[in-house]
Each structure stands twice: as structure tokens, then as C-alpha cells.
Structure 1
């Protein structure tokens, strides 16, 4: 687990070979370009083309069914394909809107029945007026002299028709009339069938067009490549004969630049110094590289900071398991993820395996299988070593996990700063946290003796001195730098209260795990009670209670496990381990397949 060392490269070449050299650098895909001062992203018509291509590609990827991807050997007219897909998208939207309007009209007409309006001359100038009234209006038209009839009722309304030449005044009928339109129920149903058939034709065309998804991906890649290349050419500096381009290159990939020499290019290399701010490129071995995605979810560590990917990968899996607190639920997570293993990609797949393995392992240790506890004499019962209902022990365990996690953060920072006096700052924090933890064990009576009291006191005192003197190890040359150093030290001491609150935050591991386990047990008890109380159909009721109850509890446990595990890692742990935020290494490379 490390951050790749970077070399600042200044690429030089003849001006007439600029396009060829920069394009060759893009094909190599080893550099991160450094923008010149005042440079801004190029704004051209390419952005609109990319947007249209992406809209078309995303629309096709959303199809329920897809055809086998077609990989054309000859160039295709991407713009014509994009227009065809977007036309299909527009037509589909219009038809869906029309279908929804017809369905709403059909529902409004259905209580009145299926009938056709007679010609106005056949009714001698009279019209039909429709009214929908609340059901509690027992005799709404008792004083009305016009002919009317109640045609239907439902659980909320009654539907009445009045025959009159003109709409009745509000004094006669104090209710607004319903607007039914001029079409009958069967006519609306016929139009609805036509539109639904049209929608099927559009969906068939959409599925047919999915064979071009690969071409759209290639088109997007080509547009992105051309935009990056044009931007790189604009960033080149030079005179009438030569040009230069600055970039960052990983130290272990400098040898890959040799093909540029064939085009007349040369370069100078300088290692990154403390005054530089290179991009961050995380390098981790499997499976710990999955932790890089977790770190990137919150922030990218600075180049001069440390990479906590491996620690975050392990602790995230462990915390998720503690919050899930059930081997059965963890197995269900594995069953759900198994069909998705190819879509998840290697890194997420590794993280999923670790989460499932940790969840099953911790579930076995606490002896919880869908809320059921195995018999003590059985093998699962013998493997049970933790009692999640033992509040005192679980709180002690949660506090111990919190202290260990923060100690690990400071230990990693100590190792990162081991070559300077700044390492005494993290060492001071480790002493303060360890001393406070020992003092807590003395307070609750778990540890006794004068030696323990002396050790705890000494650890806190010497640790506080380390924080005071080395939080900002600036060289003391005058009274201003002395005040600056002491001011940073007092600010660091103020963070002791934050460390205390961060450690207490780890109690959420026990609280959420207990809540998940307790709900599982409760739903099991409710199901058993239903089965015993109502023989026969009580079995069906018990099954529904188990299905709905455990399903809801499973979703809540998964959400809590992911959210709070991320919080403990990214807020409590990461804030102590990683100092400074960086920006990711962006490879200047080709995306389009050749």
C-alpha cells in the first residue's frame, strides 16, 4: 500500500513534430499533464456531441433486452445512428405520455358506462350534464325540476346525469360538473390499444438498436480522445522551432517513454519535492486495492500523505460484519451478490467477498442465524464465544475497537513521519489515547494497582507534552516561531475532546448490531406466536411475518452496516490518519480501442 512516486517531466521536441509526439504520448498513457498558468478547459461544439452520444448510449443501455453487440470492421455513420436513437427516445416519451393521458381519461369515464353521445338535434337541443358527488349526499337533487338519474356509485362517489338545455346554475345544483369529453369508453379503449401497440413497435426498434452500443462507446471514447489531444496541444509552450509540455510521470514508468525518442523528442526529469503538489496515484496489491475506492469515495489523500487503503478495506469489512451481526444475513448478502459478480468488477467483488466472509465469521462468533441461537452442545453453539446481549462486555469490546482503530491511525502516521521530529506528534497522541484507555479500565475496576495508575498518568502527561511541542515542528528561531509552535500545540491539545468523542462513536457498532439481532429475535417470536394462536392459517401468517420482518430488518442492517462503516472509517479514522487532500492522477491516454 503506497502512493506512487512521481517525476516532473518536461517534454521537448521540434515544433513540426508536435502533433505526432503529443499523440504518441497519449498512446503510451503514462503521463498526467500539467496545465499552464491561466489555462481553462476548451469549450467547443464537442461537448454537445458528447452529450448527445451519451444520451443515446444511456438510453439503449436502459433497454430491458439487448441484442448481441455488433463490432463493425468499417467506419459507421455515428451521427445518423445517434439521431435515429434519439428519435426513438422522443417517440417513446410522446407515446408513453399519450398512454398515461388515455388511461387517466379511461378511469374517469368508466363510472359513467360505455355510451355514444347522440346528435344534438336528436335531443331537441338538450344536453347531458355529468356530476360526481360525495356518497354522503343522500338526496342531492331533491328540489331539482330537471330530469336526472344516478347511473352508478362506488365506495366514495355517486355519479349522476342531468338533462338540460344549459348548465344549471349553482343555486340549482351547488356542485361543479365533471368534464368527460366527447369520446365514449370504447373509443378511448381503442385509442389506448393503438398507442400500446405503437409502444411495442418502438421498444422492438430500441432493442434492435442496442446492437450499436459498442459503436457508441467507441464514439464517446474517440471524442474524448480528440478533446484531450486538442487540449494537450494547446497547453504546449515554445518558440518557432521547439515546443515543451510539462507533465507528471510515475517513477516506475519512465522507461516506457523511450519510443518518443524515435520522433525526435527529449525530456528532463526531476523528482517531486516537498514544495510540489503532484497528483496522487494509489498503488495497492490485491485485494487491498478495493480500499482505494473507499478512500476515493470521501477524499483523495495528498501526495505527501499516506495511503490507508489496506486498513480501510479490513476495518470496513469488520465493522459491516459487527453491525450485521448475523451469519444468516451475511449468507443472504453473498447469495444476492453472486449473480452480480461480473457486473461489480474485480475491486467491488473483492470487497463483497471480504464483507460476506467477515459477516459469516462474526455471526458464528455471536451465534446468530436469522435470529436463532444454536444449542450449546451443538458445533455452532460451541463456536459461539460472544454474547451480544451482554451489554457490559459488548460496550468494552466496542470501546476497545475504537481505541485500537485510532491507535492504528496514529501508528500509520508515525511510520509515515518516522524520518522527522514531526513523528513525535502522533506518538504523543498514541500515549494520550493509551493512557486514557488504561485510566478507564482502572476506573471500572478491571485493572488495579499503583503501577497501572502511574503508567496511565505518565502516558497522558508525556503524550500531552509531545502534542504540545511537536504538533507543528517548525524550527524555533525567534519568539514569533515559538508562539507559532506553542499555538499549534495548544490547538492540538484541544483535539483531545474530539478524540474522546470519536472513540465513543464506536459504541454504535454494538448498538446497531444489538438492534439488528433483537429485531430478528422479535420477528421469530411473533411468527411462533401467530402459528400457535391460530392453527391452520396461522402457519401462513407466520410465514408472512418472517418474510416481511426479516426482509425489512435485512435492508435496515445492510444500510446501517454500509453507512456507519463508511462514517467510522472516513470521519473518525481518516481524519486522524491522513493529513491534507490531494487530487487524482489523470492518465493522458487513449480510450478508443484500436
Structure 2
């Protein structure tokens, strides 16, 4: 990563910002913290956002409201299966402006044209919606009074009497009567209606009439008792008459709303795509205007700093110089910030790039730390295939991956990356399934009587013997250890692969420490275990366990010495336990066998139950067996597919990364125009 510093003539700054934004090659550096120091403030002042950003923000609010209005009136679109399986990205409109003022002028014109057509129906719709809400609230309150034969125009404050209506809890009714009788000296009349249920509580609608002079005292008592007052005013007629009028008006309003909504839908079809494009252009222009605030300035110049990947540094410099017509001084420098503040850009070949999401799920690498993405790919695919290890499941996974990659990937980068990874994982699973004879478990044997293992069409039987590995034909012998069945062969393979995987991680960590000049750490943290692995390999190769034993003892002694140097006798004793940590890392790879057995065992159980239903249940047994196969294998495929994904990552994140990778870097965030509805 390099840092670009540029001094640019103020009248050329807009052109520079626009060209950098379209290129997406740099990440602008915020100079505000740097400009707080007296040395920088002596000749540079903090810059502010461009003046036009306020105008853009106002336009965005207005356009956003219209877009929201159009979305609110649109009918729920019925998505066809074809559209669901093959989503299309939105159509893009070509929009190119040489300045923010030009973009603002265009946006104002579009907004004016749209507003001229939308404002009147929009205002009517708002008014009708408000009236509808008022009527529904009034209706909700009046319905509680429909048993009362009273003219509702009497409610409220009269010349001599105050009349109020509302709901009171049934349990507090008697208390209400007594309380009001006390505060009004008996000049109170309470008319009660039938008990109703409101908010899961029994309540009683009442109309209360008191002398006007007691109004304040009555109000205080009503509030104390939790009285729910009805806000009914400026109406007349009995409750039943009023309900009839309300329903009639609501019907008329609903009809009017439907007409206006239909009118707005047509306007949405006409203007929505244009407004979305204009809104996106304004967002881009606002981001450019806000970029000024990251810079410093003098009376006639701006000072800009930006991070740029090393391979794009010269190109970014050329962009700035050309955009400024030569009125700029540009310097490419090495990073001058602490490593944790320098952004990191993962830059892998196209076939590897989708796997970067697996690295980022853990943490981006620190600056000058190795990018582990390339190292993840072979191990992840191999582990996934071995864990799921069924050719049919692998084929299904490949189909799912291809759908996400080729279809959903057109509208989502995340779907593209995940689909690509699952496609390759599915292919790896098919290969593992062919090697282990997994075709929906032992489906071929249970239902067709065909044994793939005796026929020699599968190399390893994860649940027993095969034509190639059996009691009569062991894979190999070493002392008292005989590998004569599939589970033992897969376990040995898992341990060997685990040791090799750890060796690669340790070797990378060793070389990285050497490169940084940390020779002691390289020898004690990685070199020690590399020596142990090499000793194990040599000992096994020549059949001499003494070499392995001597290496183990030597490693333990060195670990104890390292612990003693760090913290004395107690740390020395704890250092002797480091060997168990290494052994635990190696044995952790035995999960390859565990998940392989889980997939095959559960598939076998499903097949056995389905076969029992097929054979023992008359008439509907075939249907039940098919349902059992579909549900059982779907469950097995989903659960063990997910488990394989998680445990493959776990072997990398914990065991593998633990040998050389820390992560925690700052991801490179390019200053780039994000376009979904427009093209420049």
C-alpha cells in the first residue's frame, strides 16, 4: 500500500474528486486529526464540505418522499417462479454530469416535473388518509355508546352542565360512583352501558353529567381512576345514527383513495425509475462534496492524501495530474502511519477471489501480514468433501451452488461468492463420494441389492471393509497397528492430512517471523514443532520409533526451558504441557472421520427405515418409504452440509491460523461511486 499526497489548485479540485470517485482506486485519508497539530495548522486549515451538499441533501429528502409515496401505493408484485429462479438486475440509465451544479439543475427539473403531476393527488391522498384515521378513531369510540339513546352534540361543556363519556374498569365502577358523588355534592348523573371487553379487561361505557362548576374536580377524579375519555366533539345525532354516517363516509373515502392510488400508480410507472436514478446521482454528488472535508486547504489550494494499492499508484497519480490539467503536485510515498491504521486490500487471482469472504469472516490480515486466502482453498474443499462424502449430496450441493453463483449472483456479490464456493465444495464432495461409495448412503444396496464395495467401485468403505481394504487385504501394517477397514484408513488419512496442514501453517509462520527479523520467535514458536513433525515423518518412514521418542523428549525440554526463561519454575512445568496442545491440534483433524461417519450413518439409518416401511406396510408402504427417503435425506443433506462448512472453517480458523495468522487489519474501502440504477 502506498500513500498519495497531492497539492491541487482549488478550481481544479472538483475535477480531481470526480475522476478519483469514478476510478475507485484510492481510499481518501481523513486529515482532520493531523490538522489539529500546531505544525500542520501553521500552513493548512481544515476544509469543509462543498457548499452544494446542503442543496443536494434537501433535494434528496424531497425525492425520497416521492419514492416512498410511489412504493406505498404500488400493488404487491407477484413474483413468478422464473423471476425467482433467474432474478435480473435493475435497468441502468446513462447519466453523466460534468459538475455538481449540472446534476443539481437536472434533479431540480425532474423534481419540478414530477411534483407538478404528483403534488395534487398526493395532498388529496394525505387529507383523505387523515380523515379516514379520524373517522376510524371516532367509530371505535362511538360503537361503545351505541346502546345509549342520546344526542351526541350534548357532549362537552355546556352553559350549565359538563357531560363526558368514556370507559371505566368494571372493578372501579362503584368507586367511581362514590367518588363523583362526593366531589359534586350529589349533583352527578352516571348512565351506564353494557359491559364490554377492551384490552383483555372488562370495562363499562358510561356517560357522566355534572354541574359545570364541578368540572375540574370531576376531571381529577376521573384521571385518578384510569377513566378512558372519548374524544367526541362537533357531531350530532344518536350513536347509531352517527355510526351509519361514519360508515357511509368511510365507504366514500375508500373509493376516493382507490381512485387516487390508481392515479399515483400510473405516475409511479412513469417516474419511479427516473427518480431512483436521480436520487443515486445526488448520493454520488453528495459523497463527492463531503470528500472535501477530509482534506486540508490554503487560500488557493487543497491538500489531499489517499491510500492507494501499490500497483495502482502510478495510475492514480496520472488521474490526478490529468484531471487538474497539470495544476497539481503529486507525490507517491510509503505509509507513514502505524500498521494498524494502514488499510489492506486482498488481491487474489479471479478463481481464488470469492474465497476472500472466508478470510474476512475471521478478520482481514494486518498490513504486511500474509494473506491466507490462497492457503484456505485446497484445505477447505478437501475437508468439506471428506466430511459430507456422498456423491448425490455433492451433486445437489453443486446445483445449489450453481444457482446462487449464476442466477442470484447477478444481483448480489455475496450470493456470487457463496455460490462459487459451494459449487467447488459440491464437486469435491462428489469426488469424495465416488471414492467412498456414498450414493445416498447405502441406497444402492438396500433397494437394488448392489454392493459398491464388493464390486470394487469404491476404494474406501467409511463404515466397514471394501474390496481394497479389509481383514484379508490390509492397507498397511506398522508394528501392532493394522489398517484393515475404512474407518481406520480415514482416521489415519485425517491425522496425516492434519499434520501436513499444520506443517504448512507452521512453515508459513516460520518464514514470516524470519522475514520480520524475529529469529528467536521463529525457532521457538514454529521451528520447534516443524522439527517434531519432520522427526515423526522420518521415524515412521524408517520404522524407528526411537527417533520420534527422542524428538518428543527434546521438544518437551525446550518448551520447559522457554517457560523457565519467561516466568520461572511454574512456567517451566506448564511449558511441558505444550506438547499436549500440539497433540490436541493434530487429533482435532479426526473430526473429518467423525462427520464422514455421521453423514454415512444417518443416511444408512434413513435407508433402513424406508426399506422397513416399503416391506412391512401394505398398500401405502411405498408412499411412506418415499416420504421417509425425501425427508430423511433432505435433513441429512442440510444438517451435515452445514456442519461440514462450519467444521472445515473451524480447522482453518483455530488449528491452521493459530500457527501463523493473527488478522485484525483495516479493510481497504475505496472512494468509489456506487451505482445500481445509473451508468456514467
Q: Of 11, 24, 32, which aligns to 1:29?
A: 24
Q: 2:28, 2:305 within 8 Å by CA — same for their partners in 1?
A: yes
Matches within 5 A, 1:108-257: 215=274, 218-219=277-278, 221-256=280-315, 257=317
Aligned to 1:403: 499
Q: Of 505, 515, 519, which aligns to 2:588?
A: 505
Q: 1:334, 1:353 within 8 Å by CA — same for their partners in 2?
A: yes
Q: Of 595, 600, 607, which aligns to 1:517?
A: 600
Aligned to 1:363: 433
State the Cα RMSD in Å. 5.5
Alpha-carbon offset, residue 435 of structure 1: 6.2
DSSP 3-state at the match of 2:667: coil
Change (3 A) 1:427 1:211: farther
Distance 1:532 1:559 in 2: 33
Q: 2:57, 2:286 within 8 Å by CA — same for their partners in 1?
A: no
Change (3 A) 1:358 1:270: same
Change (3 A) 1:577 1:215: farther
Distance 1:444 1:64 in 2: 65
Q: 2:462, 2:597 within 8 Å by CA — same for their partners in 1?
A: no
Alpha-carbon offset, residue 383 of structure 1: 3.5
Change (3 A) 1:68 1:558: closer
Q: 1:410, 1:426 within 8 Å by CA — same for their partners in 2?
A: no
Alpha-carbon offset, residue 546 of structure 1: 0.7
Q: Deviations over 1:402-429 (max 9, x none)?
A: 3332222222223334434425534544
Distance 1:203 1:361 in 2: 57
DSSP 3-state at the match of 1:10: strand
- Equivalences, count: 497
Alpha-carbon offset, residue 275 of structure 1: 4.5
Aligned to 1:555: 638
Aligned to 2:6: 11
Alpha-carbon offset, residue 431 of structure 1: 4.8
- Structure 2 residue 619 is matched with structure 1 residue 536: yes
Moved more, 444-453 or 236-245: 444-453
Change (3 A) 1:442 1:495: same
Distance 1:378 1:451 in 2: 38
Q: 2:4, 2:313 within 8 Å by CA — same for their partners in 1?
A: no
Q: 1:287, 1:347 within 8 Å by CA — same for their partners in 2?
A: no
Q: Deviations over 1:6-48 (max 9, x none)?
A: 1111111223333333333323322111112439998987789
Distance 2:503 2:552 in 1: 16
Q: 2:63, 2:111 within 8 Å by CA — same for their partners in 1?
A: no
Change (3 A) 1:239 1:205: closer
Q: Of 332, 335, 348, which aligns to 1:272?
A: 335
Q: 1:50, 1:223 within 8 Å by CA — same for their partners in 2?
A: no
DSSP 3-state at the match of 2:457: helix
Distance 2:495 2:262 in 1: 57
DSSP 3-state at the match of 1:525: helix
Aligned to 1:571: 654
Change (3 A) 1:534 1:298: same
Moved more, 216-225 or 361-370: 216-225
Aligned to 2:374: 310
- Structure 2 residue 320 is matched with structure 1 residue 260: yes
Distance 1:275 1:217 in 2: 41
Change (3 A) 1:297 1:545: same
> How does the TM-score come out when normalised to structure 1?
0.67
Change (3 A) 1:559 1:32: same
Alpha-carbon offset, residue 522 of structure 1: 0.4
Aligned to 2:470: none
Matches within 5 A, 1:488-499: 498-499=581-582
- Structure 2 residue 408 is matched with structure 1 residue 343: yes
Aligned to 1:325: 389
Distance 1:51 1:560 in 2: 49
Alpha-carbon offset, residue 489 of structure 1: 11
DSSP 3-state at the match of 1:295: helix
Distance 2:534 2:57 in 1: 60
Aligned to 1:115: none
Q: 1:70, 1:212 within 8 Å by CA — same for their partners in 2?
A: no
Q: 2:30, 2:295 within 8 Å by CA — same for their partners in 1?
A: no
Distance 2:546 2:392 in 1: 47
Distance 1:10 1:252 in 2: 16
Change (3 A) 1:552 1:586: same
Q: 1:431, 1:463 within 8 Å by CA — same for their partners in 2?
A: no
DSSP 3-state at the match of 1:282: coil
Distance 2:463 2:261 in 1: 56
Q: 2:539, 2:545 within 8 Å by CA — same for their partners in 1?
A: no
DSSP 3-state at the match of 1:300: coil
Distance 1:18 1:230 in 2: 11
Q: Deviations over 1:241-269 (max 9, x none)?
A: 33211111222112323243224111112
Q: Deviations over 1:125-176 (max 9, x none)?
A: xxxxxxxxxxxxxxxxxxxxxxxxxxxxxxxxxxxxxxxx99799xxxxxx9
Alpha-carbon offset, residue 281 of structure 1: 0.7
Distance 2:400 2:286 in 1: 40
Distance 2:429 2:269 in 1: 39
Q: 1:399, 1:503 within 8 Å by CA — same for their partners in 2?
A: yes
Q: Deviations over 1:361-420 (max 9, x none)?
A: 111122111012765678984342353554444333333333332222222223334434
Alpha-carbon offset, residue 507 of structure 1: 3.0
Moved more, 275-284 or 492-501: 492-501
Aligned to 1:156: none
Q: 1:18, 1:243 within 8 Å by CA — same for their partners in 2?
A: yes
Distance 2:76 2:572 in 1: 56
Distance 1:241 1:443 in 2: 75
Larger radius of gyration: 2
Q: 2:536, 2:548 within 8 Å by CA — same for their partners in 1?
A: no
- Structure 2 residue 351 is matched with structure 1 residue 287: yes
Alpha-carbon offset, residue 290 of structure 1: 1.7
DSSP 3-state at the match of 1:269: strand
Q: Of 407, 422, 425, which aligns to 1:352?
A: 422
Distance 1:433 1:409 in 2: 11
Change (3 A) 1:464 1:7: farther
Distance 2:380 2:75 in 1: 32
